[in-house]
Amino acid sequence: MIPRTLPRFLSVAFATVLASGLAMTASAQTPSTTSSDGTLLSVSAEAQATRVPDIATISSGVVTQAADANSALRANAEQMSKVMAAVKAAGIAERDVQTTGIGVYPQYRYAENQPPAITGYQATNTVSLKIRDLTKLGKVLDALVASGSNQINGPSFEIDEPEAAYDEARRNALKKAEARAEMYAKALGLRVRRIASISEGGGFNQPGPMPMMMKAGMAEARDTQISPGEASLSVNLNVVFELGR
């Protein structure tokens, strides 16, 4: 029968043996990252794929001013309802319309040696609109201004389904990495044995947003002209190769 209380020196010895056993088990389960005669080479390669954007996002809003906050907000709501009616008439789906900001702010008059005095209030209401048919973008902008939107920003362009373009960039980046690894291996008198690991980073480089601060009455008879240009989708691969003889 084992006694309930071990002598102190036996407890320490037992703990030491147990810890050694655990350490040996953990060490035995750790795989080697490369062969004993192999050399690891880390290569970074970047590639891009270009596409014509097929979606545009614009910000449209109404700014109103009045002597008191309530009047400013009511006037804003009335004008914004006309803008939203124009949005609906343009065929923009509800899922592509998102309110991004509503605010009421005091307006001040500043005079030397006097505290700021409130002269009135400004109300704002802004929505983000996603346009999926770029051929209608110019007409949508004109309709917004005609309906009372006096603050418009954008558009910013993007690609609706970018995965095919990303895959193209991935393949190109991998080819670059493999070619670079072959060059290093040849220079060292070695050969590429295998890929030990791959990690990926990427990004979407779109044409910069085009500021379009517009006010009612500025729309011309013809549609506003929009050019989406090209968007670049880039992928960066970090590939580790094993080299050997």
In this prediction, residue 37 carries a pLDDT of 78
pLDDT at 206: 53
63 bridge partner residues: 124
Q: What is the pLDDT of residue 21?
A: 40
Residue 91 included in any domain: yes
Can you tell me which residue has the tokens 């006096």? 150
Domain with 97 in it: 54-159
Number of folded domains in the chain?
A: 1
- Residue 58 in any domain: the answer is yes
Burial state string for 106-115 with b = 16 or more CB within 10 A and e = fewer than 16: eeeeeeeeee
Residue 203 is predicted with a pLDDT of 65
Residue numbers of the chain with a pLDDT score lower than 70: 1-35, 202-222
Would you tell me how many other CB atoms lie within 10 Å of the CB of residue 64?
22
Supply 30's token pair.
Answer: 């750790």
Structure confidence at residue 202 (pLDDT): 65
- Bridge partners for 131 per DSSP: 56
3-state secondary structure of 240: strand
Task: Examine residue 135 and state whether it is found in any structural domain, yes or no.
Answer: yes
Residue 152: CATH number of its domain: 3.30.70.2970
The answer to whether the pTM exceeds 0.75 is no
